[in-house]
């Protein structure tokens, strides 16, 4: 979708925005998060987590999921251009982080991860980041944590509609529109968004611009069939086309690593689910059945001629039953037992694969106990057994507890758990002529994880300080060699701590700060690449004009990041991998503001990288320079 389509979307924004004042999400104690086989109240969840609401992200002026995640403690975001962004949690590999979109697993069976390529926030209601192992709940890929993205749904009765437009540097044009309807028994929501970025020549050689165009459509709905039975569905379609450059090595300077080339790619993604919920035994039993699936199709072109393609699919069927042990409603019970059973099939097909389409099946059963006691103690304990058809089966478990100290605004937390990560299908079966051949004998990586934490309220409930110390030990770590993949000998370690403070200093001024320290090392002692040792975030937002306006500043410092010198490497059997070196630290400053022109129309603006700092999150790739944007949002 090019600019003409954006103009059509822009017409839809000539509709009236309900003003919403931003509030730091860490103070919202009643949030229910997706940290168990069934949702549970935040006060009963004993691991560290963050929730970013749509209001939070609007106040910060961020428009993409990856930029929102840069504000989360323990999360490291690495971009090698707009079209390729990886996310790590607490020094993990990027394939150890599970991404859910409306509950549907988005990670590619091929690469094991989800690539955030400018995923727009226009239709996103909230982002939950669960740090620490979640394999007992979600299986493989969740060894380091979960990023759960929930799109907007019809929340108020009747018909509502609106949209937004934005223009800015790098030839950016964006537009979005939505329409929602909620009745007494059902709801339906549809949204459409597009963002076109002309970009710049990332190779710095004066060649063609590396553009990035994305269009996304989201449809979801639900209906109460009876007082005890509800059905619903979700559907998300995303189309992306982008340009990128080739690379070369060795070069004297990492700035010369990218070489201009007429390379483009197209990605087509579909995520969807059908679900049915039912209550029984006067509400003591609650069941949920979900059929979900995803398709990812990627095609690459050189000067407009197709050069390669690959396609991944996943289909899963999951039943979850929750029983209230205390005789109350299973959805809100203080004591409940949850059982889950699921089956999943993954497929992968690539241009170069001599075997055609590869398949693998996984079946799993899980059991979890969630309990909250009158003395302020909460317990969550679970176990999961996976049965795999192509590699060894796996058992994972999780135990977490929290204690609200009587008479004190202090909560203590402790958790331990075992997790695992299956080999990706590319690691197992991948084939690139003369370059790569998969290893079908790979074993799943296994990790043992611990964390201790505390949450302290202060200033009469206007502030909150959180502290978490963590450690993870990984055996059978899957690593790439020059021509294949292998299970590395020894134990890889990740350890560190997270510190966060938020405070509503006045009725209009809110402050926030967080710091993450991560010591991530291979069994050999070499540092884990692209896992920053130090990350510091400072934030402030100030309301003005009697609540009609809000201005914010976001300062981010990153240092202690190591990466492989791909730009300075000559491949050979004697030299199969490049040297590991330290990247320069950097600090960036972002500004954002919005002002409600009336009760329906909001004017907003932002400046990314205010001081035009040159920085690198990966060798040979550089972040966005100073860029300004302005836009309008309307809601009715």
Report angle CA 289, 154, 57 to the nearest 5 degrees: 100
Handedness of CA 353, 356, 357, 360 (dihedral sign): negative
pLDDT at 3: 34
User: Cβ distance 80 to 618 under 8 Å?
Assistant: yes
pLDDT at residue 46 tops 70: yes
pLDDT at residue 37 tops 70: yes
Q: 11 preceded by cis ω (within 30°)? A: no
pLDDT at 212: 92
- Which are the contacts of 253, defined by CB distance < 8 A and separation ≥ 6? 567
Partnered with residue 197 across adjacent β-strands are 172, 212
pLDDT at residue 204 tops 80: no
Residue 427 falls in which region: left (phi positive, over 0), alpha (psi -120 to 50) or beta: alpha
Least confident of 5-19, 163-177, 205-219, 317-331: 5-19
Q: Reduced to 3 states, what is the DSSP secondary structure of residue 426?
A: helix
User: pLDDT of 86-132, one tens digit each?
Assistant: 899 999 998 999 999 999 999 999 888 888 876 888 889 999 999 99
- Which are the contacts of 407, defined by CB distance < 8 A and separation ≥ 6? none
The C-alpha atoms of residue 439 and residue 581 are separated, in whole angstroms, by 28
- Which are the contacts of 520, defined by CB distance < 8 A and separation ≥ 6? 90, 91, 492, 493, 494, 496, 527, 528, 531
Q: How confident is the model at residue 506 (pLDDT cuts 50, 70, 90)?
A: very high
Q: What is the mean pLDDT of residues 445-456?
A: 96
pLDDT at 354: 66
Helix (H), strand (E) at residue 379: strand 377-388
User: Cβ distance 273 to 291 under 8 Å?
Assistant: yes
Q: How confident is the model at residue 574 (pLDDT cuts 50, 70, 90)?
A: low
The C-alpha atoms of residue 440 and residue 434 are separated, in whole angstroms, by 18
- Which are the contacts of 241, defined by CB distance < 8 A and separation ≥ 6? 211, 213, 264, 265, 266, 267
Mean pLDDT of the chain: 89
The C-alpha atoms of residue 152 and residue 149 are separated, in whole angstroms, by 10
pLDDT at residue 571 tops 90: no
Joined tokens for residue 296:
């990812």
Joined tokens for residue 102:
């409306």
The C-alpha atoms of residue 77 and residue 71 are separated, in whole angstroms, by 10
Q: What is the mean pLDDT of residues 48-66?
A: 90
pTM (predicted TM-score): 0.92
The C-alpha atoms of residue 278 and residue 73 are separated, in whole angstroms, by 37
Report the candidate in 175, 156, 157, 179 with the shortest Cα–Cα distance to residue 167: 175
The C-alpha atoms of residue 371 and residue 333 are separated, in whole angstroms, by 8
Q: How confident is the model at residue 184 (pLDDT cuts 50, 70, 90)?
A: very high
pLDDT at 24: 35
Joined tokens for residue 135:
């394999």
Question: What percent of the chain shows pLDDT beyond 70?
Answer: 93
Q: Reduced to 3 states, what is the DSSP secondary structure of residue 476?
A: coil
527: DSSP letter: B
pLDDT at residue 145 tops 90: yes
User: Cβ distance 333 to 347 under 8 Å?
Assistant: no
User: Cβ distance 581 to 560 under 8 Å?
Assistant: no
Domains, the chain, in order of start with CATH, read 3-201+210-635 (2.40.170.20)
The C-alpha atoms of residue 137 and residue 53 are separated, in whole angstroms, by 23
Joined tokens for residue 163:
């949209």
User: pLDDT of 361-372, one tens digit each?
Assistant: 999 999 999 999
Least confident of 24-33, 40-49, 216-225, 533-542: 24-33
The C-alpha atoms of residue 479 and residue 486 are separated, in whole angstroms, by 6
């Amino acid at each position: 979708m090019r600019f003409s389509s954006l103009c059509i979307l822009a017409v839809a924004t000539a509709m009236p925005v309900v003003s919403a004042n931003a509030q730091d999400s860490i103070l919202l104690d009643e949030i229910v998060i997706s940290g168990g086989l069934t949702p549970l109240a935040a006060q009963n969840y004993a691991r560290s987590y963050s929730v970013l609401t749509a209001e939070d992200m609007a106040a910060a002026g961020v428009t993409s999921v990856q930029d929102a995640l840069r504000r989360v403690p323990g999360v490291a975001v690495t971009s090698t251009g707009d079209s390729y962004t990886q996310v790590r949690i607490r020094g993990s590999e990027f394939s150890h982080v599970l991404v859910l979109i409306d509950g549907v697993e988005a990670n590619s069976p091929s690469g094991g991860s989800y690539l955030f390529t400018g995923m727009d926030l226009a239709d996103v209601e909230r982002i939950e980041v669960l740090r620490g192992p979640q394999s007992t709940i979600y299986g493989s890929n969740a060894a380091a944590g979960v990023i759960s993205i929930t799109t907007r749904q019809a929340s108020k009765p009747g018909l509502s509609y609106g949209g937004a437009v934005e223009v800015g540097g790098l030839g950016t044009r964006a537009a979005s529109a939505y329409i929602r309807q909620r009745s007494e028994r059902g709801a339906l929501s549809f949204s459409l968004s597009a963002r076109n970025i002309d970009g710049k020549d990332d190779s710095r050689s004066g060649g063609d611009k590396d553009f990035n165009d994305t269009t996304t459509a989201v449809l979801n709905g639900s209906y109460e069939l009876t007082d005890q039975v509800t059905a619903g569905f979700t559907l998300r379609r995303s189309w992306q086309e982008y340009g990128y450059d080739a690379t070369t090595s060795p070069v004297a300077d990492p700035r010369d690593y990218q070489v201009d080339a007429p390379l483009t790619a197209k990605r087509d993604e579909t995520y969807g689910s059908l679900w049915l919920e039912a209550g029984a035994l006067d509400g003591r039993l609650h069941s949920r059945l979900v059929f979900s699936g995803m398709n990812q199709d990627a095609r690459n072109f050189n000067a407009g001629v197709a050069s390669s393609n690959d396609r991944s699919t996943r289909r899963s069927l999951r039943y979850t039953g929750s029983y209230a042990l205390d005789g109350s409603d299973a959805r809100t019970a203080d004591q409940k037992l949850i059982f889950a059973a699921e089956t999943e099939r993954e497929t992968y097909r690539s241009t170069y694969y001599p075997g055609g389409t590869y398949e693998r099946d996984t079946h799993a059963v899980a059991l979890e106990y969630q309990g909250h006691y009158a003395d302020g103690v909460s317990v969550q304990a679970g176990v999961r057994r996976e049965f795999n058809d192509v590699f060894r089966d796996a058992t994972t478990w999780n135990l977490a507890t929290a204690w609200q100290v009587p008479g004190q605004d202090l909560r203590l937390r402790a958790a331990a758990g075992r997790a695992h990560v299956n080999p990706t299908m590319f690691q197992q079966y991948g084939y690139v002529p003369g370059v790569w051949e998969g290893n079908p004998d790979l074993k799943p990586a296994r990790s043992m994880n611990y964390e201790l934490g505390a949450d302290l309220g202060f200033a009469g409930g206007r502030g909150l300080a959180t502290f978490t110390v963590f450690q993870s030990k990984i055996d059978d770590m899957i690593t790439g060699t020059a021509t294949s993949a292998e299970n590395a000998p020894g134990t890889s370690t990740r350890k560190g701590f997270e510190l966060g403070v938020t405070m509503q200093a006045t009725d209009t001024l809110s402050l926030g700060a967080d710091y993450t320290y991560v010591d991530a090392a291979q069994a050999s002692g070499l540092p884990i690449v692209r896992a920053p040792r130090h990350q510091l975030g400072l934030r402030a937002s100030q309301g003005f004009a009697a609540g009609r306006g809000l201005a914010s500043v976001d300062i981010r410092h990153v240092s202690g990041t190591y990466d492989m010198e791909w730009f300075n490497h000559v491949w050979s059997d004697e030299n199969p991998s490049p040297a590991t070196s330290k990247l320069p630290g950097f600090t960036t400053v972002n500004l954002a503001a919005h002002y409600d022109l009336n009760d329906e129309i909001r004017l907003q603006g932002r400046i990314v990288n205010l001081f035009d700092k040159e920085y690198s999150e990966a060798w040979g790739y550089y972040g966005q320079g100073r860029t300004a944007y302005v836009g309008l949002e309307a809601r009715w």
